[in-house]
Amino acid sequence: MTKFSPLVEYKATQGQYQLLPFKFEPLDDHDVVITNYVGEFAFISREDLEATISKKLDPNSKIYSLLRSLHFIKEKGDEASIELLGLKTRTKYSKLRNFTNLHIFVVTLRCDHSCQYCQVSRQSENKVAFDMTITWLKKPSQSSSDRRTLPSKSNSRAVSHYLTSISSSTSYSGRKRSTKLKTVIFNL
Amino acid sequence: MKLNLNKAIYSLEATQKAAYRFIDRVTILIEPATEEWLCEIEPIAGHEDKFNDHIADFKRELLDQQLRKQIKEETQDVRNLILAYTFSRTGLQE
């Protein structure tokens, strides 16, 4: 009596696998590249692609092992494949947990400099309509439904409002920093 | 040029996606008939010389799109399972 069953007992039978999500794109008339959303990829022939999808891959072939190891296919009972794909996807999108790390408050577009690196379409000093109001300043932290009620244009304010806005921005952001656990750095 | 596609073989989704990929080379109008999609294909100005090549490529693309649709439908449940696992306990859901 042998300790283990014959090798054939451990081999998958043909057609006993399941497809996992993947995409493909032809490279030329004969080959395609297949990818999944965690970044795994493989270059295979069109014949192998069609055999994969129609569940005709030979379980003993190299292409079968390759596609299984890269999580393009899984056998019954391969629950680790789904968990690994989930884990990799989770890692890939982990940046979403710290959604929007940088906030820039452009409190006015009025400026008498013309720096080449500046992204702002600067306005002359008398264009007060391009100042940010306190109402606008607080809008990003409010709900999306509130955002629909935004006024179509900023209200005109006096030049002194420029300094008031900066002051309000810094104090308001400071309060948010303490309540939302966000790191706020002021570059004035 | 007119191309008749059997509805039992080619879905509207696959036909539209294939047509969209060729939007810079040919214009394709898709009309439904009883058992077929009727495609009226015309070259865009400057692409008349390779019109026959574009038609051949479009037919290949149709098969690819149909295959992609098959993969998408077959893996829909497992895709949802993976995404559910991915975003579980993240606090990203409302």
In this predicted model, what pLDDT tens digit does every residue of A120-176 receive, in sequence order?
A: 788 887 887 888 877 777 666 554 444 433 333 343 344 455 556 666 766 776 676
Q: How far apart are CA B75 and CA A71, in angstroms?
A: 12
Checking if the pLDDT of A1 tops 80, the result is: no
Phi/psi of residue A108, nearest 5 degrees: -155, 155
| pLDDT value for A161 | 57
Domain contains A115: yes
Q: Which long-range contacts (CB under 8 A, 24 or more apart) does B18-22 make?
A: B18/B58, B18/B61, B18/B62, B18/B64, B18/B65, B19/B58, B21/B61, B22/B54, B22/B57, B22/B58, B22/B61
Q: Do B71 and A83 touch (CB under 8 A)?
A: no
Residue B29 lies in a domain: yes
Chain B residues with beta carbon closer than 8 angstroms to that of A22: 71, 75
**Is the same domain home to A106 and A172?**
yes
The residue among A56, A63, A59, A81 whose CA lies nearest residue A71 is: A81
A86 vs B60, B74, B82: nearest CB = B82
Residues B62-81 pLDDT 10s: 999 999 999 999 999 999 99
Per-residue pLDDT at B62: 95
Structure tokens, A82: 């789904």
Do A116 and A54 lie in a common domain? no
How confident is the model over A106-120, as a mean pLDDT? 82
pLDDT for the residue numbered B65: 96
pLDDT of residue A143: 47
- The pLDDT of residue A157: 42
Query: Is residue A82 domain-resident?
Result: yes
pLDDT bracket for residue B11 (50, 70, 90): very high
pLDDT digits 0-9 by tens, B17-76 = 999 999 999 999 999 999 999 999 999 999 889 999 999 999 999 999 999 999 999 999
* Res A155: pLDDT: 37
| Residue finishing a domain among A70, A95, A120 | A95
Whether residue B14 is predicted with pLDDT greater than 80 in this model: the reply is yes
Final residue belonging to a domain, choices A64, A95, A126: A95
Cβ under 8 Å to B: A residues 46-75: 49-50, 53
Buried b (16+ CB within 10 A) or exposed e, B18-41: bbeebeebbebebeeeeebbebeb
Measured CA to CA, the distance from residue A102 to residue A29 in angstroms comes to 46
Q: How far apart are CA B61 and CA A164, in angstroms?
A: 60
**Is residue B15 domain-resident?**
yes
Question: Which residue, of A52, A68, A95, is where some domain finishes?
Answer: A95
Confidence at residue B32, expressed as pLDDT on a 0 to 100 scale = 94
Total number of domains in chain A: 2
Q: What angle do CA A29, A31, A32 make, to 5 degrees?
A: 110
Residues A128 and A83 both lie in one domain: no
| Three-state secondary-structure class, residue B83 | helix
Domain of residue A123: give its range: 100-180
Verify whether the Cβ–Cβ distance A53 to B87 is below 8 Å. no
Residues A175 and A158 in one domain: yes
Q: Is residue B92 part of a domain?
A: no
Q: Are residues A80 and A113 both part of a single domain?
A: no
From chain A, pick out residues whose CB is under 8 angstroms from the CB of B70. Answer: 53
Q: Is residue B94 domain-resident?
A: no
When scoring A49, A82, A98, A100 by the number of chain B Cβ atoms within 10 A, the one with the most, hence best to mutate, is A82
* Interface membership of B77 toward A (CB under 8 Å): no
Asked whether the predicted pLDDT for residue B86 surpasses 80, the reply is: yes
CA distance B28 to chain A (A): 22
Does some domain include residue A7? no
Q: Which residues contact A14 (CB under 8 A, 6 or more apart)?
A: A55, A56, A57, A58, A59
**How high is the pLDDT of residue A154?**
40
Domain shared by A78 and A105, yes or no: no
Contact between B17 and B65 (Cβ < 8 Å): yes
Predicted structure pTM score? 0.65
Q: Domain of residue B40: give its range.
A: 2-87
Same domain flag for A60 and A108: no
* DSSP-derived 3-state class of residue B84: helix
- The answer to whether residue B25 is domain-embedded is yes
Nearest by CB to B82, from A19, A24, A89: name it: A89
Query: Domain for residue B11, yes or no?
Result: yes
A22/B74 CB distance under 8 A: no
A5 found inside a domain: no
Query: Residue A1: inside a domain, yes or no?
Result: no
pLDDT tens-digit map of A53-96 = 999 999 889 999 999 999 999 998 888 888 899 999 888 888 77
In a domain, A167, yes or no: yes
Q: Which of A103, A170, A106, A107 is nearest to A141 (CA)?
A: A103
Instruction: Read off the pLDDT of residues A17-66 as tens digits, 9 standing for 90 and up.
Output: 999 999 999 999 899 999 998 999 999 999 999 999 999 999 889 999 99
Domains: count for chain B: 1
